[in-house]
Amino acid sequence: MDSDLHILTIYSTKRKTKGVAALGSSDMKRLALLPGDVVIVYGQRIFPFTVMESRDKGVGMEVSEEDLKELGVNQGEKVMVKKVEPRELESVSISPSTQKQFDDRKISLELRGKPIMMRSNINTKEGDFVVVSMSPKVEVGLITGDTKVIVTSPTLRFTQKDISFVTLDEVGGLSDQLSTLMEIAEIALLKPEIPRLFGLRAPKGVLLYGPPGTGKTLIAKALANSMMSS
């Protein structure tokens, strides 16, 4: 196992703030962490967390109930944790879940100091968003006062919630069709301006059709997970 990866038992509590992970002092020392550091937690899905020291002396990691659900793990399960150094972002593009007017300044202020990854789900007072691009392209980025936050128009969105972890590499056959699906999804998520150059709208969905049991749901889940890890 990678020497930077550590295994911790994860728990949830109603008291914890979303996006914050609390560790006991012994685990903080073992992982060489200080309050305010950032870690990536690997459950069925992957999210960055800001670390704080727990007042409890128990061993393990505490997160919010919502974070535990989004990680796709259960109370008391083992997860892998890695300390990371987030890079300050020059700009970040986020896609809203609904079509309406947003106050970019309010969103920027609320997200300041927040670590994010590609495909991260972001909950704000203005609404829910998903990260669709970051500059520079890094594993974990940090939004600062100098980061330009761009709210794009709603596009095809894949979230990490309620998606079992299977990727396109595990789907046999249909290589040409799967390649086309990936291309459509990447254009819709990352390059919505390309279709507009040709007078077209960016696709907002993909319709898979066929008899029951042919793998439509499996392909949809695999496509979503492959996009989140790319």
Regarding whether 123 and 101 lie in a shared domain, the answer is: yes
Regarding whether 120 and 104 lie in a shared domain, the answer is: yes
Regarding whether 102 and 45 lie in a shared domain, the answer is: no
* Burial (0-12, 13-18, 19+ Cβ within 10 Å), 205: exposed
Three-class secondary structure of residue 152 per DSSP: coil
Residue 25 resides in a domain: yes
**CA–CA dist 19, 209 (Å, integer):** 38
Regarding whether 124 and 76 lie in a shared domain, the answer is: no
Number of domains in the chain: 3
| Under-50 pLDDT residues of the chain | 1, 156-157, 160, 162-163, 229-230
Residue 118 resides in a domain: yes
What is the model's pLDDT at position 154?
67
Residue 161 resides in a domain: no
Range of the domain at 200: 168-229
What is the model's pLDDT at position 70?
85
Residue 159 resides in a domain: no
User: For the segment 33-50, what is each residue's pLDDT rounded down to a tens digit?
Assistant: 999 999 999 887 889 999
Residue 147 resides in a domain: yes
Token digits for 143? 């939004």
What is the model's pLDDT at position 1?
46
The whole model's pTM is what? 0.64
What is the model's pLDDT at position 57?
65
Residue 156 resides in a domain: no
CATH number at residue 142: 3.10.330.10
What is the model's pLDDT at position 73?
87
User: For the segment 104-149, what is each residue's pLDDT rounded down to a tens digit?
Assistant: 888 889 999 999 998 888 888 888 888 988 999 999 999 999 999 9
CATH number at residue 33: 2.40.40.20
Regarding whether 125 and 103 lie in a shared domain, the answer is: yes
What is the model's pLDDT at position 165?
60
Regarding whether 134 and 65 lie in a shared domain, the answer is: no
**CA–CA dist 48, 117 (Å, integer):** 7
Task: Please state whether the peptide bond connecting residue 192 to the residue before it is cis, i.e. omega within 30 degrees of 0.
Answer: no
Residue 158 resides in a domain: no
Per-residue CA distances from 144 to 38, 97, 126, 130, 147 (Å): 15, 23, 18, 18, 5
* 35, 51, 84 - which closes a domain: 84
Regarding whether 16 and 46 lie in a shared domain, the answer is: yes
**Which residues have a Cβ under 8 Å from the Cβ of 179 and sit 6 or more positions away?**
none
